[in-house]
Amino acid sequence: MNLHKRISLLVRLGDYIKSDENTFNEIREQAYFHNRWFTTAFTGYAGSVFGEHVLTQNRLEAFSNAYGIPDYQQDPKTIGLVMAGNIPMVGLHDMVCIFLSGHKQMIKFSSKDSILMKHLAEKLIAWEPDVAAYIHWNDLLKDCDAYIATGSDNSSRYFESYFSKYPHIIRKNRTSIAILTGQEKDDELANLADDVHIYFGLGCRNVTQIFVPEGYNFEALLNQFRSYNYFKDHEKYRNNFDYQLTIAIMNNRFYMSNDSIVLLENENPFSPISQLHYQFYKHQEEIAGKLDMNKIQCIAGQGFTPFGKAQTPEIHDFPDGIDTMEFLCGL
């Protein structure tokens, strides 16, 4: 299958996942019943992001040209792909990169996101049977030429052990932060609310810690966060919110809250579901010394990723900052 055909199929996939086609709506419902964090609103949002920012003709062609991807791979490799499942279709970027490169892939779907991702793979094969030679899936990834695995810091140790003798990319826990100046307008804070809350805060591009100037007034921020007060109707999120609020009260911790989130001063950039950490600063220059950039996926704020854009990565925004396509082209 030549590059033009591969791109055409991916563009068709992008149109499909951002559409209201009945088949995909039914799959989104199934995914929600399987994993209650995957609401149809958030799976629809994920489909729109991929469809508009990754799977377009212009983006895929420019991306392919930038890496000199050949029409055909003369010696195609089989890539073992261990997908994450923290947010809907999070493994799609890797699947797209491998397919676009002309290599083959053997996928281990995440148990949390098996319905959506398996459906997309099957859809490509239904449209073009030759895709079956490029995309396979299995719970056991044996005899692959290289591996790409995404998981937690704990699972990454096992991946390192299993895959160390093969070319590999192994990703660990990452999260995102935001830096506020105190001069943000309401629309910017509303956009930050999206960066914090979309996907219930479960993604590596979700802002889980903010840096604010000393003396910062949180009232306007908490007011904008109220747009997500409907989270209280989501049982799993509400259970987490009630738990985090109870723990803060029992430990006599100073906290701020509305009906959707608990704010606590904490140096840890990773915050639990329904909680947002904050730290104060005197000068922005001092923030860099407080960050372990190996843990940070994205920084939102003036001079960084604009507020509201953390969850709309482009095709070249690679997880963990590791260039997946460069890895694939170098095999």
pLDDT tens digits for range 233-277: 999 999 999 999 999 999 999 999 998 899 999 999 999 999 999
198 secondary structure, DSSP code: G
Q: Which residues contact 328 (CB under 8 A, 6 or more apart)?
A: 79, 97, 98, 101, 103
pLDDT tens digits for range 75-84: 999 999 999 9
- Burial label, 69 (beta-carbon count in 10 A; 0-12, 13-18, 19+): buried
Please state the φ and ψ torsions of residue 216, each to the nearest 5 degrees: -60, 140
The pLDDT value given to residue 259: 85
β-sheet with 296-301: strand ranges across? 256-257, 262-265, 275-281, 207-213, 175-179, 296-301
The pLDDT value given to residue 294: 93
Rounded to the nearest integer, the mean pLDDT of the chain is 96
**pLDDT of 197 above 90:** yes
Q: Which two tokens stand for residue 144?
A: 């692959």
The pLDDT value given to residue 149: 96
Tell me which amino acid residue 164 is. Answer: S
**pLDDT of 223 above 90:** yes
Question: In the block, which residue shows the tokens 């923290």?
Answer: 86
3-state secondary structure of 231: helix
**Number of CB atoms found within 10 A of residue 136's CB:** 14
C-alpha distance from residue 256 to each of 11, 248, 266 (Å): 45, 10, 13
Q: How far is residue 292's CA from residue 273's CA, in Å, rounded to a whole number?
A: 21
**pLDDT of 93 above 90:** yes
Instruction: Please compute the mean of the pLDDT values over residues 7-34 and round it to a whole number.
Output: 96
In 164-274, where do the E strands start and end? 168-171, 175-179, 207-213, 256-257, 262-265
Instruction: Please compute the mean of the pLDDT values over residues 203-232 and round it to a whole number.
Output: 97
Kindly report the CATH number that applies to the domain delimited by 175-301: 3.40.309.10
The pLDDT value given to residue 311: 95
Q: How far is residue 322's CA from residue 330's CA, in Å, rounded to a whole number?
A: 13
Q: Which two tokens stand for residue 142?
A: 């044996």
Please state the φ and ψ torsions of residue 161, each to the nearest 5 degrees: -70, -45
The pLDDT value given to residue 241: 97
The pLDDT value given to residue 271: 98
Buried-state track 236-246, b at ≥16 Cβ within 10 A, e below 16: ebeebbeebbe
The pLDDT value given to residue 6: 98
Instruction: Please compute the mean of the pLDDT values over residues 55-68 and round it to a whole number.
Output: 98
Q: Where are the chain's structural domains?
A: 3-173, 175-301
Q: Are 59 and 85 a contacting pair, CB within 8 Å?
A: no
Kindly report the CATH number that applies to the domain delimited by 3-173: 3.40.605.10
For residue 43, give the nearest of 82, 21, 17, 10 by alpha carbon.
17
Instruction: Please compute the mean of the pLDDT values over residues 288-299 and round it to a whole number.
Output: 94
